[in-house]
Structures are given as C-alpha cells and as structure tokens.
Amino acid sequence: MTDVYDVDVPKTLGEDGKYSLKIDIRSDDDVLGPGLFIYGFMPGSNAEKQGMLHVGDELLCVNDIDVEGGALDDLIFAMQNEDYAESDVVPVMVR
C-alpha cells in the first residue's frame, strides 16, 4: 500500500501576474483507475523545487475538499475555494 501524506504546496507567480501551482494534472479512468494524477511540472515551479510531489502521485484532497477518484471539474472547484485564495500555499493530500 502506498503512503498517504499532506503537503503545503507553494504557488508560483506566473507571467500573467497570478499565482498558481504550475502542476500538470490529468484525470485518468483507464490506466490507474479513476482519479487525478500529477503528470508533470512547469519548469522552475515552486512545487517542483519543493520536491514533495512526484509524477504519478494521486491527488486525494485539495484545499480541504475531497477530490479522490474525481475529475478535472472537481479539481477546478477545489482550487477556487475562497478560504485559500490569498494563501501562498495550497494544502493537498496525495498518495
């Protein structure tokens, strides 16, 4: 069984002047089963530099909202949680 852990992932300032995670996420129903999985990082992103998340990690919870087995729409909803809009980190739980 794979470990489950919590990470406060730092946001990265983009060229558009907005902060985001700069992580590539895919929704997978075929290969790994339903869920949201990390498949890459934008070069130089703070999330990549932190080194706590890895390609293949499954997102279980984002901004205290359950996204386990979810689709990209679930992730978008979780990222828009106003409680974390001004924060420089995004709390996530991964497996």
Q: What pLDDT sits at residue 61?
A: 97
Q: What pLDDT sits at residue 30?
A: 63
Q: What percent of the chain has pLDDT over 70?
A: 95
The pTM for the full model equals 0.86
Q: What pLDDT sits at residue 1?
A: 53
Q: What pLDDT sits at residue 83?
A: 80
Closest CA to 24 of 45, 49, 8, 52: 45
Q: Kindly tell me if the per-residue pLDDT of 35 is higher than 60.
A: yes
